């Protein structure tokens, strides 16, 4: 009994917890001699008592002293003790007091989430650095595996450079949230950013389709240009309301490629009434460096620049059941409105106000029925052809009137 108590006391001491040997012996004596509990069962009972008293998980107490070194891709079971040689890919913000650090680590075989508990009292780790993670436990939640670092774990910096190669995928393959991938794609379109933390946002495409991208300013990555093709390395997938996108951060890389990637998309047709002309329509100026639309004469990336004039329409159509965003480029807009960009500039100069062009567009489009066709890219249809529907179906009119009546009722 004394030997059992000594071993229990020694193990708790390894975990940084002081348990009095006399208290252990007293509990063992009572269980074994008074209640005739078998020694092994008494041992487990006493251990569980002190684990609960000091809020220590059983997995920590019974952790093996030496664990097998495995690759990330080999982690396929819950509750295993392993050792990993990994690079810290990304650290995440945590709002839980019990967590010291959390993020993503990886090796040549893949990536995996990690959580380091504050009570483990382990040293902090840095993004981009390589470490030996000893005696960590595997965990599974809804089919996704991760690892936990606790008081029995060790973090040892290593000089070895671990190369992480994310799988190269097509845009249409991106169907899971939180995956790290590499993508070959063309920049189809750049959008205006309305958030200070975003450097660029827009649409990428390859042979399989298109996907939205966001490049964070703190990533300090080079600017991309519309119509150019790139290799986007080590980007993360993201999902919001069933729509997938990719994010570029500090661990990502952008490499220009000579190949002109053909962007695949499905032609679609939409029929309905134009109910709104959105901000950013009409006669606008674009940055000569990155082609993004200027706001009050300034580019979000390049500051005050001498802009290049462009003409476009961003509109909303309604067929009585759902709405659809459409985008008309300069050529389509000129043909539809009946003015050239030169005429639009003359109108703006005479009125000393570019909004006269927008007013003309609104007067010719809002409330009228059209049939549009073009490529569907994200939430937009990039219009190739547009023609006025001079004979909209009575049923469509009824649907639109019903929708308008509902909106009026809701606003009243």
Q: Give per-residue pLDDT as tens, 219-242.
A: 899 999 999 999 999 898 988 867
- The torsion angle over the Cα atoms of residues 50, 56, 61 and 65, rounded to 10 degrees, is -140
Q: Is 308 in a helix, a strand, or coil?
A: strand
Predicted confidence at residue 53, as pLDDT, reads: 86
Between 373 and 2, name the one with better pLDDT: 373
pLDDT, mean of residues 149-176 = 88
Predicted confidence at residue 300, as pLDDT, reads: 67
161 and 217 in contact (C-beta within 8 Å)? no
Least confident of 126-140, 166-180, 296-310: 296-310
- The hierarchical CATH code for the domain 168-256 is 2.40.50.140
Predicted confidence at residue 327, as pLDDT, reads: 93
243 and 228 in contact (C-beta within 8 Å)? no
**CATH fold of 68-157:** OB fold (Dihydrolipoamide Acetyltransferase, E2P) (2.40.50)
Between 210 and 335, name the one with better pLDDT: 335
Percent of the chain with pLDDT over 70: 92
302 and 381 in contact (C-beta within 8 Å)? no
Burial (0-12, 13-18, 19+ Cβ within 10 Å), 250: middle
Segment (H or E) for 360: helix 355-365
Structure tokens at 275: 């109910």
Predicted confidence at residue 132, as pLDDT, reads: 95
Between 361 and 410, name the one with better pLDDT: 361
β-sheet bridge partners, residue 211:
204
- The hierarchical CATH code for the domain 267-407 is 2.40.50
């Amino acid at each position: 009994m004394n030997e059992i108590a000594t071993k229990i006391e020694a193990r708790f001491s390894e975990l940084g917890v002081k348990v009095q040997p006399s208290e252990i012996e007293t509990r063992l004596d009572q269980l074994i001699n008074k209640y005739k509990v078998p020694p092994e069962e008494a041992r487990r009972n006493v251990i569980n008592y002190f684990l609960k008293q000091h809020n220590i998980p059983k997995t920590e107490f019974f952790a093996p002293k030496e664990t097998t070194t495995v690759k990330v891709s080999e982690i396929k079971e819950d509750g295993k003790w392993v050792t990993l040689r990994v690079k810290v890919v990304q650290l995440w913000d945590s709002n839980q007091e019990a967590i010291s650090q959390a993020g993503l680590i990886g090796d040549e075989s893949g990536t995996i989430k990690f959580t380091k508990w504050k009570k483990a009292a382990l040293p902090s780790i840095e993004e981009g650095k390589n470490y030996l993670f000893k005696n960590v436990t595997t965990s599974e939640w809804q089919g996704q595996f991760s690892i936990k670092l606790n008081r029995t774990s060790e973090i040892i910096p290593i000089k070895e450079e671990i190369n992480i190669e994310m799988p190269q995928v097509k845009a249409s393959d991106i169907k899971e949230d939180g995956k790290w991938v590499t993508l070959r794609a063309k920049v189809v379109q750049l959008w205006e950013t309305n958030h200070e933390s975003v450097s660029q946002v827009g649409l990428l495409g390859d042979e399989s389709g298109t996907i939205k991208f966001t490049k964070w300013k703190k990533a300090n990555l080079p600017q991309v240009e519309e119509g150019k093709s790139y290799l986007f390395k080590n980007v993360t997938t993201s999902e919001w309301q069933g729509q997938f996108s990719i994010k570029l951060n500090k661990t990502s890389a952008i490499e220009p490629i000579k190949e002109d990637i053909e962007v695949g998309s499905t032609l679609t047709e939409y029929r309905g009434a134009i109910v709104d002309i959105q901000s950013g329509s009409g006669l606008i100026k674009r940055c000569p460096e990155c082609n993004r639309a200027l706001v009050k004469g300034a580019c979000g990336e390049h500051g005050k620049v001498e802009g290049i004039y462009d003409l476009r329409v961003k509109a909303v159509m309604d067929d009585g059941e759902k709405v659809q965003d459409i985008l008309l480029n300069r050529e389509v807009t000129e043909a539809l409105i009946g003015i050239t960009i030169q005429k639009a500039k003359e109108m703006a100069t005479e009125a000393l106000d570019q909004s006269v062009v927008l007013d003309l567009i609104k007067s010719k489009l809002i409330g009228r029925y059209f049939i549009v066709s073009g490529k569907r890219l994200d939430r937009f249809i990039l219009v190739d052809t547009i023609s006025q529907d001079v004979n909209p179906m009575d049923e469509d009119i009824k649907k639109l009137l019903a929708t308008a009546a509902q909106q009026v009722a809701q606003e009243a």
